[in-house]
Chains A and B, each alone.
Chain A
Amino acid sequence: MVATLFEKVWQRHLVSQETQEKPAVLYIDTHLIHEVTSPQAFQMLRDKRLTLRRPDRTFATCDHSTPTTKPKSNGEYTFFGEQEKKQVEQLKKNCDEFSVPLYELGDSKQGIVHVIGPERGITQPGQTIVCGDSHTSTHGAFGALAFGIGTSEVGFTFATQCILQRKPKTFGIEINGELKNGVSAKDIILAIIRKIGIGGATGHVIEYYGTTVDELSMDERMTICNMSIEAGAKAGMMAPDQKTFNYLKNREFAPKGEQWIAAVKDWGQLFTDPGAKYDRHISIDASQVEPMITYGTNPQMGIKVGELIPSKGERQALNYMGFEEQQKLVGQPVDVVFIGSCTNSRLSDLRDAAKIFSNRKVAENVRTLIVPGSHEIKKLAEKEGIADIFIQANAEWREPGCSMCLGMNGDIIQDKQFCVSTSNRNFEGRQGKGGRTMLASPLTAAAAAVSGKVVDPRDYL
């Protein structure tokens, strides 16, 4: 029987098959948690007098409500408010009580949940991975079946290491062709979402493949899988290859010695067999992709940076953004630039941004935040000298966390301000009430920071 990558991973995790009457019981290998979507699930365990079955397969970090400013000299962090502080403290209490390993605030391994999973080697090919967070799709870049769940399901996973699932459909997205200089993985995924729409993959697991995908680095693959959810997909996946294995080798939680050899052999089976069919399929020509930017209030409202805002009657979105149909975005002044989030806060993203900041300064009246995805990345960026480039350019070089991606920790933009952001959502108010977000790649965001307006980043390379 031929099978797709998704079907192979799905099949390996069935405690029981689905029937007409009930969904499949799907076994979960790895459960990632953070402070925002877990407290009520821990409470559910207490209320029902249940134990957390697999603390050894559960990993916690704090990222959403955490400050991105340095701690005081006594090591204390300044939280945005009491609630944020309480949420982070509650996570610590819960993890202590249920013996879950936690990357605490200030821990040298702490960072955004979807950044540290791969970084620590927790994320591995062929696994099922869940997290109370929709961007769990990121981990699919390793050939894992990884998806976001709600807090109830976080509780289910705590109690049983399983969730109930109907088998999703599959969606093959073939990406071939050579990327032009100045075009990045972020531009590919924004182009895909524009093409299929934000509900375009609802009910499907996307598999990305093709010569372009083969060429992409693991960081870039993660950027693409990360935003699968912005097309409504349950998950995004890519078959693991030598690059995947090289990335994982010797990482903290990766198998070692003979187990490594056995694991790589097994992981090598995880690909879509020739002849296996997807329920849906499209092709993308990567050589036609150009730097993208969004003009509206959801990620499908994107254009090539040089294009005009289309006439599609998106009145509410354009009113909110203060834009008009047929308007040019190039030249639009910006107030804030945010480089960070689980989409684009990895070392290669920071290197991209540094290419543009090098020997330049942030434009006057622009606030630029650069927030690495983890302490590990922060350390590497400082060692490489990238951080100095940012600091010399007058950008704010912050502590790791979700930061301005969703503005829960006080890092927000003001009413009506324009922000070019490397995050994944431009929803109304996402970065602060009334704030206007334009999603773009780290190159495009950095170019906006130094020029003070929306520009084509290729003019700055």
Chain B
Amino acid sequence: MSSVPKTFHGADSGKNITRLIKMKNFKMNKFNKIQSTVSVLNIDNIDTDQIIGSDHLKITNKSGLGKHLFSDWRYHEDGSNNESFILNHPSSKNAKVLVAGDNFGCGSSREHAPWAILDYGIEVVISSSIADIFANNAFKNGLLPIQLGHDKHDFLLASHGTAITVDLQQQTISCDGQSFSFEIEPFAKYCLLNGLEQLDFLVEQLDQIKQYEIDTNKQINAKEYV
């Protein structure tokens, strides 16, 4: 528990974080320790068009995208499974941890990408580098994006099918007899561990936001808006 901040010391609120915990509207599950096998998709620069094609952006809700995850790679033209694709291999069955090549999630801002990954059953994605918007989107939906240095990343790239434990609280990954730590943005960690939605935190700041608008002359119908 030691690495989890109990209080936010922002100049703004000074509000105790426990107030956040009491807020309702928790939709996200709390992120626990994940124990699973690793599936390795060793391709660099996997973009969000690959994760979920634009054909599947036409929905007006969030559900059911898992079956379209990586669909151009996963299925043949006729819709049958491409057995040579790693996620279709028996060794990937029930894998909740996906290790991908460098620079995962680049391209479009579509949040459909983490929705599809989660709906498919993956809860952690690991790469040496994860695109900013993708990582942001992932956190907000309860998908843990982890960036590792090249040594650790290379080690995991060679660990397809082995057991892995990802402990968010301790910020550690254990796999194949090795154990190492990872970095994570503290606020995102806190929200994931507690199943908190970041929106609830922002809504708590509304008084301060209104004050900012007054101070900068940005209120509704302000004469000047620069």
Chain A residues in the interface with B (C-beta under 8 A): 12, 15-17, 19-23, 25, 27, 29, 36-37, 39-40, 43-44, 48, 50, 54, 56, 64-65, 81, 83-84, 86-87, 90, 124, 126, 132-134, 148-153, 155-156, 159-164, 166, 168, 198-199, 202-203, 229, 232, 234, 255, 259, 262-263, 266, 298, 316, 406-408, 425, 427-430, 433
**Number of A-B pairs whose CB atoms are under 8 Å?**
199
- Per DSSP, chain B at the interface is loop
CB contact list, B148-172 vs A, under 8 A = none
B78 close to chain A: CB less than 8 A: no
B37 close to chain A: CB less than 8 A: no
Q: Which residue in B5, B111, B205 is a CB contact (below 8 Å) of A152?
A: B111
Q: How far is the CB of B93 from chain A (nearest CB, A)?
A: 25
Which chain A residues border B32 with CB–CB below 8 Å? none
Q: A36-B58, A428-B49 are in contact. List 17 more A-B contacts (CB 8 A).
A: A16-B11, A19-B8, A22-B187, A25-B202, A25-B208, A37-B111, A43-B60, A133-B109, A150-B109, A150-B111, A153-B136, A156-B198, A202-B129, A262-B224, A263-B226, A407-B54, A429-B72
Is the CB–CB distance between B209 and A27 below 8 Å? yes
Q: Which residue in A134, A164, A298, A428 is a CB contact (below 8 Å) of B108?
A: A134
Given the interface pairs A15-B208, A21-B8, A159-B203, the reply to whether A259 lies near B224 with Cβ below 8 Å is: yes
Which chain A residues border B92 with CB–CB below 8 Å? none
Q: Which residue in A29, A37, A160, A428 is a CB contact (below 8 Å) of B206?
A: A160
Which chain A residues border B103 with CB–CB below 8 Å? 198-199, 202, 232
Is the CB–CB distance between B53 and A134 below 8 Å? no
- Per DSSP, chain A at the interface is loop
CA distance A22 to B205 in the complex (A): 13
B199 close to chain A: CB less than 8 A: yes
Interface centre among B45, B58, B109, B208 (most CB of A within 10 A): B109
Is the CB–CB distance between B9 and A162 below 8 Å? no
Is the CB–CB distance between B12 and A56 below 8 Å? no
Is the CB–CB distance between A23 and B185 below 8 Å? yes
14 A-B pairs (CB sep. < 8 Å): A17-B10, A27-B218, A65-B58, A150-B114, A150-B140, A152-B137, A155-B199, A160-B209, A198-B103, A199-B103, A234-B132, A255-B225, A262-B224, A429-B49
B201 close to chain A: CB less than 8 A: yes
Is the CB–CB distance between B12 and A15 below 8 Å? yes
Given the interface pairs A15-B208, A162-B205, the reply to whether A40 lies near B62 with Cβ below 8 Å is: yes
Q: Which chain A residue shows the least CB distance to B186?
A: A21
Q: Which residue in B9, B53, B60, B61 is a CB contact (below 8 Å) of A429?
A: B53
Is the CB–CB distance between B212 and A86 below 8 Å? no
CA distance A229 to B103 in the complex (A): 13
Is the CB–CB distance between A40 and B61 below 8 Å? yes
B133 close to chain A: CB less than 8 A: yes
CA distance A425 to B109 in the complex (A): 13
Is the CB–CB distance between A48 and B5 below 8 Å? no
Q: How far is the CB of A318 from chain B (nearest CB, A)?
A: 14
CA distance A126 to B206 in the complex (A): 23
Is the CB–CB distance between B202 and A37 below 8 Å? no
Q: How far is the CB of A227 from chain B (nearest CB, A)?
A: 12
Q: Which chain B residue shows the least CB distance to A84?
A: B58
Q: Which residue in B10, B60, B209, B213 is a CB contact (below 8 Å) of A40?
A: B60
Which chain B residues border A198 with CB–CB below 8 Å? 45, 103, 106
CA distance A213 to B31 in the complex (A): 47
Is the CB–CB distance between B10 and A22 below 8 Å? yes
CA distance A323 to B102 in the complex (A): 23
CA distance A433 to B136 in the complex (A): 28
Is the CB–CB distance between B54 and A406 below 8 Å? yes
Which chain B residues border A56 with CB–CB below 8 Å? 220-221
Is the CB–CB distance between B202 and A425 below 8 Å? no
Is the CB–CB distance between A39 and B133 below 8 Å? no
Interface centre among A86, A150, A164 (most CB of B within 10 A): A150
Is the CB–CB distance between A150 and B226 below 8 Å? no
